[in-house]
Structure 1
Amino acid sequence: MARGVRTGTNQLKMKASKPTIAARQEAERLVVTNQTSPKASPLLNAEERKIFNKLKKRNDNYTENDSESLNLLSQYLNMWYKLKQAHNELDIFDERTSDYERRMIAIDKQISQHMSALAIPLSQRFRLANDMAKVMIEEKKLEQMNGIKPQEVNPLMALLQKEK
C-alpha cells in the first residue's frame, strides 16, 4: 500500500515519468473523478427519493458505484424514521414498544453498514488510484518485456568471429 499519497496528479510534487503520470491520471479518473453521479433506483418511493437526493447533494465524490449503498441507505433511513414515529405514538408501557425498539436496532445496524461503505474519504480514494496506477505500470512493463524478441545472435560473438 502506498503511504502519503493524498493528492491528485495536478498537485504532484515529485518528479515522475510521463507514463507514470499518465497511469496515475487514468486511475484517478476511474476512482476519484468519475463524472457519473449516483442513480436512484426506480424502486424508491417519493420519501426515499428525497432522502437519496439529500445524501447525494452532501458529497460530490459519490459516483455511480455508490448508487447501491445510497439507495439502500435511503430505504433504511426511511424505515427507521417511520418506526420511530410509530414508537413515539405508543405509551412507554405498551407491549409493542420493545418490538419496535428491536426492529429499530436491527435497522440501525444496516444503516451503519451502508454508511461505512460510503465513507471512503477522498485521501483513501487517491491512495487506491495510486495503487491502481502502479499495477497498470507494471502490466505495461510486462507487456513490453513479452513483446521484445530475444536476439538469436549475440552481437559480441559476431564481432569476435569477424576478427578471426
Structure 2
Amino acid sequence: MEEVQTMSRAGEPVTQAEGEQAAYALRELARTVSAPDALGVSQEQLDVAVPFFVLGWAMGVRTGHTAPTVEGVPVDGESVTRVLAGLRAVQVTSQFADPVLWQKVDYHGSVTQQHGEYWVQAIHVHADPFGGEPELRYDLCEMRGVAPVTVITGARRVSLTPLPVFRVTG
C-alpha cells in the first residue's frame, strides 16, 4: 500500500493516449481558427509546440482542471490565434536578425519627424553592382482600418529595430 502512494506522489509519465489526444487537439485548434500558413506558423513550428501543449493537457486532465462545465465547448478563436502568433514571433525573432513582412518595427532613421512604430509592408533587395552583399530596404506603413498606408519607403536596416509583434493576416 505504501508503495502505491509513493508512486502517485512521484508522478507518472504522460501516457501515449494523453499525448495523442493533446497533439490532435492542438492541430485541430490550429486548423479551425485559421490555417497554420495563414498565421505564418509552419508544421515544424507546431511540432515544436506539441510537447508543451501535451504537458499542459496532461496536467489539466490529471489535476481535474478540465471541469465538465466546459466539456465540449471549444476554445475561442482569438485565444488560439494569440498563442499561435506568439509562437511565430518567438520562432521568427530567434531565427532572423532582419525584420520580416508584417512585423512591427521601431523606425529611428534620418527622417526624425517620422520616428515611431510601423509595420513592414515590403522588403526590397538591391543588388550591389560590384558583386557585393545585396542591400535590403524596407517600406513601412501604418494601418488605417484594414488598409495599409505607406509612410516610409526605402528605410535602411540600421534605421530599424525589430519588435516582437506580428500582424496576423488571413
TM-score with structure 1 length normalisation? 0.31
Q: Name the structure with the higher strand share.
A: 2
Higher-Rg member (1/2) = 1
Q: Indicate the structure with greater helix content.
A: 1
State the TM-score, normalized to the length of structure 2.
0.30
